[in-house]
A and B are shown apart, each in its own frame.
Chain A
């Protein structure tokens, strides 16, 4: 893509795209930090994730300001318009990912006191790995401007949904085995749900990024596989 006749237009766009990259990096580090804190009962790390969320919020406000000002000043068209509007929406999803990571981090203190969660959280560990791959992937593929990879990444969210269903069943089994597990498992269930929601926000980001890059929308329906709403574990 060539440069604008007005050079400061390019600078304005670059600042917005830099903010998205920053927010993406921060989201990645918050998701990874919160799950490590959860699995290792690391309170210090959890605290850092909680305080990072304030930085995430500030970045989003800055991006909103810059995007609104750019639209008012430059009236962007075509790919520029898509990039600016897409950035506003992606920033919203990244900010939500930050919130969800913070929520996981806040449960670390509570969990640490109840039982050793390590035994109960193996499958959450596996789920967290899947989510991290997705978060990392969406940031990298957008930076690489690879629309096809983004479309594939969006479809891959299904794996997280499947994993969530199995975590849900597993935790329910632990609770039935020993009611003393209920508090810890409930917290872990919330964490799993948060991870699943993070996956959904990654999906949104991938859809937005795809639109920014190609100007066309991905088809609306994507295979969905959260079965927890419908079925109880085998009795």
Chain B
């Protein structure tokens, strides 16, 4: 029997309290609005992303959750008609500031997409590409190590270590997605954005990715968009609910899925919307 002594119990409680008071805001959205041409897609969103936590963005299609996610590493810059208002900070630094190098920003805030999209290159090259263009490895041995570490962190090393030179596109869907996660990790990002990373995967591959998300949280801050309520409940610590371009409610995931404050959240997560 493992019986906690009073002292160790007190310590555990103390640790928990400290962890709480140490919650650091990694990224902060302040009155974020997004326009696609004349059409406003996002209205005055204030949302904090906490360090080493998984923040899930949920809401019905067209609610603005992916739009918000794409603001966090300026992916909306790639859409000509898109215009972002308000302020978004990474470690209290405005990421829309003129002096920000967008390429460097996207190395710090990596992204994993809905459909696995490996480059039409070898497994090795898929992972090595990012570190190479960012000049992160001087020698071949360094690069080998980055590739191996990244594939290990993405929990796919054992499956691919004997065929690193084979094309990444030859892997199964679930493996491809983990390869894409390895590729995102390879440039040592601080934040990883995931846009429905499991929607194209079967339940077992999904479980692997979810397990991975939980492990990655130790070292990275993660923001995930998901249509699966259960997935949001399983993987995240914070949940933000969007509707019609507005942030409706944000809070601890445990509470959001058992006793949400807002009726729209309640209706959406219980399947009563519309």
Contact = CB atoms under 8 A, between A and B. Distances in A.
A147 to B, nearest CB: 13
B271 interface: yes
Given A75-B230, A77-B229, A4 B270 contact: yes
A5 B271 contact: yes
A77 B259 contact: no
Nearest to B266: A78
A52 B172 CA distance: 58
Contacts of B229: 75, 77
A233 to B, nearest CB: 39
Interface in B210-252: 229-230, 233
Nearest to B255: A215
Interface stretch (A79-87, A150-158, A180-188): A79-87
B259 A78 contact: yes
A74 B272 CA distance: 12
Interface residues of B, number: 16
Contacts, number: 44
Interface string A70-97: 0000111111111000000000000000
B167 interface: no
A101 B270 CA distance: 38
B230 to A, nearest CB: 6
B139 to A, nearest CB: 51
Interface string A209-221: 0000011100000
Contacts of A76: 270
Interface residues of A, number: 19
Nearest to A1: B272
Contacts of B260: 78
Given A75-B230, A78-B266, A79-B266, A2 B258 contact: no
Contact of A78 (B230, B269, B273, B274): B269
B113 interface: no
Given A6-B271, A78-B257, 14 more contacts: A2-B267, A4-B270, A4-B271, A4-B272, A5-B273, A5-B274, A74-B271, A77-B229, A77-B257, A77-B270, A77-B271, A80-B270, A82-B259, A216-B259
Interface of A: 1-6, 9, 74-82, 214-216
13 contacts: A3-B272, A4-B270, A5-B272, A5-B274, A6-B271, A74-B271, A76-B270, A77-B229, A77-B233, A77-B271, A78-B270, A79-B266, A81-B258
